[in-house]
Structure formats: structure tokens, C-alpha cells
Amino acid sequence: MRKRTLVSIAFIVPSVIIVGIFVYAFIAWTLAASFTNWNTLLPNWSFAGLKNYIYLFTQDMRFHMDLVNNFIFLPFFVLGTMILGFFLATLLNSGIKFEAFFRTVFLLPMAISLVVSGVIWIWIYDPTNGALASLFQIFHLPAVNWLGSMTYALPAIIIATVWQYTGFTTSIYLAGLRGIPQEVIEAARLDGAHGLRLYWNIIIPMVQSSTVTAFVLMVQLSLQMFDIVWVMTQGGPAFATDMPAVYMFIAGFKQNFVARGAAIAIIIFALTLVVVIPYLFTAGKITEEEA
């Protein structure tokens, strides 16, 4: 029995060591670097205290814009994907034909790279020949340079990301809806719950775990949103679509502001923990109950 345990522990040790280095040790490294003066080409581990954080929060206009953009992006993206996802999942779950076909179509964007999506959406938004410009011309509306506009660039990116991720939330909600026993819904109907009341009182509370999962995942994705922004606008025009993750990449890899890049990364990480820690805590509880 003991030998069996030893071999099994050997099975898990490689993963623990690798994750220990690539996740935990690297986080510690970034945290340490964020407290240094390493805003130079050559490594400089001299202690700077909170200097980088204070600079970001009190003086750095770019970082202020990043936070504002990120907190505009976040509710539209999270609510957009969740509401659309719940709505589409409800329709898919209403006993229709071709359900598998529609499901496959909605989830298709999840199978392709954000770089591919980004390039396609740049083409759709192209002010001279793009799909939108073409529609606008039919209706004799003036051409708009969507991605070059301070007003429209961020909403344009939000639409592209909602397009990419709505299939994900739809799948999460569909799994949740299928988990509701049919008897529960029948019983509620017999008690006189119909239409919106049936949803509000019975169905929405019963898919609560799907809601929590979708919420945590979508918030987490918002906070680290990088790929599609980098491909579509690189944060422009004039930082109108800049995000903390974009600035982190620029500071850490293009400008040799290693300590500042590390500080931005730690801020993104801390914001993520606010939603992830409670989630993992409840997930941990669930697994303990199962065990």
C-alpha cells in the first residue's frame, strides 16, 4: 500500500515542480521586481519600495486611461457575453430542431485564434472597402473610420470580443439549463409560474453556478485582455483602446521599464484574485464534499 502511494506521489511531483516554478516562483519574481529600480536596460535590483506603484497611480496618465478603458470594457463585455449567452442557451434548450447546428455555429469563433478574429474584424471595420462601410454606402450613410476613432474604437473592439466569447457563455448556460430536472419546471408551472416569473423565480436561481462560473471567467478575461487589442489597434488611437495588459507588454518588453511592467502585471494579478480567490474557495469546498 505504501509503495503504491509512493509511486502515485511520483506521478504528481513533476507537475507540482513545473507549476511551482512557472506559476508561483515567477509570480514571486515579478512581485520582487516591481519593488526595484529596474527601469533600465541592465538589471537593477536596488530596492525602490512602492515607487513604481505610486508613479502608476498618481502620475502616469497612460495607466489612468488604461484603467478607465478596462473598466468601460469590462461591464459591456461581461454583461454582453452573459446576457446573450443565457438568452441563446434558453432558445437552444426549448426543444427545437437543428439545435446541434446552431450550437456549432455559435461556438465557432472560440475555435479560432484571437489574431485571426482581430484581422477579420479590422477588415470588417475598414473605412473604405470593409463590410460595414459597404452597408453604410447602401444606406447613404457617411463612412466612419471605426478603429481610428476615439469614440468608436473601444466599442468596436468590445463587439469583436463579444462575438468571440458568447459561444463560451452559451455553452456554460446550456449545461446549466440541462441540469435542471424537468419535474421542477413542471411543478413550478402547476403552481402558476409562467413566462418571466418562471425565469426570475425558478430558472435563474437554478443556474446560479453557471452564472458564477461565466462571471469569473469573463471578468478574468477582461482584466488580461491583450491579443485582440494588440492586433486591432495596438491600444490606439491616442490610447483610446489601451489596456493595462498592453501597457505592461510595452513597458516590460519594448521600453525596458521592467519594474514598471512588473508593477502593472501585479496590479492585473491582484484585480484577478479579487474574483478568483472566492471562486477557488467555493470550488475547493465542493471537491472536499465530494471526497
Partner 1 sequence: MKISKKVAIYLVLIIASIFFLFPIYMLVVTSMKSLQEVNTTSSWSIPIHFDFSGFVTAWNGISQGFANSFEFTIPALILSVFLGSIGGFALTKVKFKGANTVFLFLLFGMFLPYQVVLIPLVKFMAALGLYGNIWSLIITHTAYGIPITTLIFRNFYSSIPTSLLEAGQVDGANTLQIYGRIILPLSIPGIVVAAIWQFTNIWNNFLFGLILGSMPNVRPVTVMLNNLNGAMMAQWNTLMAGALITAIPTLIVYLIAGKYFVKGLLGGAVKG
The minimum distance between CB 16 and partner 1, in angstroms, equals 6
Quote the CA–CA distance of 56 and 124 in Å, as a whole number.
35
The minimum distance between CB 93 and partner 1, in angstroms, equals 11
The minimum distance between CB 266 and partner 1, in angstroms, equals 7
The minimum distance between CB 40 and partner 1, in angstroms, equals 14
Q: Cα 191 to chain center, whole Å?
A: 40
Q: Which three cell numbers stand for residue 39?
A: 527601469
- With b meaning 16 or more CB within 10 Å and e meaning fewer, what string describes 244-268? bbbbbbbbbeeeebbbbbbbbbbbb
Those residues with Cβ within 8 angstroms of residue 118's Cβ, 6 or more apart along the chain or in another chain:
160, 227, 228, 230, 231, 232
Binds partner 1 by CB under 8 A, chosen from 36, 52, 70, 171: 171
Q: Is 60 in the site for partner 1 (CB under 8 A)?
A: no
Each residue 224-243 as x (binds partner 1 by CB under 8 A) or -, in order, gives: x-xx--xx------------
The minimum distance between CB 146 and partner 1, in angstroms, equals 14
Please say which residue, 69 or 213, places its beta carbon nearer to partner 1: 213
Residues between 241 and 260 with contacts to partner 1, criterion CB under 8 A? 244-245, 248-249, 252-253, 258
Q: Is 200 in the site for partner 1 (CB under 8 A)?
A: no
**Coil vs helix vs strand at 128:** coil
What DSSP line would sit under 201-255, residue for residue?
IIIHHHTHHHHHHHHHHHHHHHHT--HHHHHHTTT-STTTT--HHHHHHIIIIIS
Binds partner 1 by CB under 8 A, chosen from 63, 168, 215, 239: 168
Q: Is 15 in the site for partner 1 (CB under 8 A)?
A: yes
Q: Is 108 in the site for partner 1 (CB under 8 A)?
A: yes
Q: Which three cell numbers stand for residue 16?
A: 507540482
Q: Is 196 in the site for partner 1 (CB under 8 A)?
A: no
Q: Is 180 in the site for partner 1 (CB under 8 A)?
A: no
Q: Is 192 in the site for partner 1 (CB under 8 A)?
A: no
Quick one: 140 exposed, middle or buried, by C-beta within 10 A (0-12, 13-18, 19+)?
Answer: exposed
The minimum distance between CB 150 and partner 1, in angstroms, equals 21
Binds partner 1 by CB under 8 A, chosen from 78, 82, 133, 158: 133
Binds partner 1 by CB under 8 A, chosen from 59, 128, 190, 192: 128
Quote the CA–CA distance of 72 and 75 in Å, as a whole number.
6
Q: Which three cell numbers stand for residue 181?
A: 430536472
Q: Which stretch binds partner 1 (CB under 8 A): 46-54, 75-83, 104-112, 191-199?
A: 104-112
Q: Which three cell numbers stand for residue 255?
A: 521600453
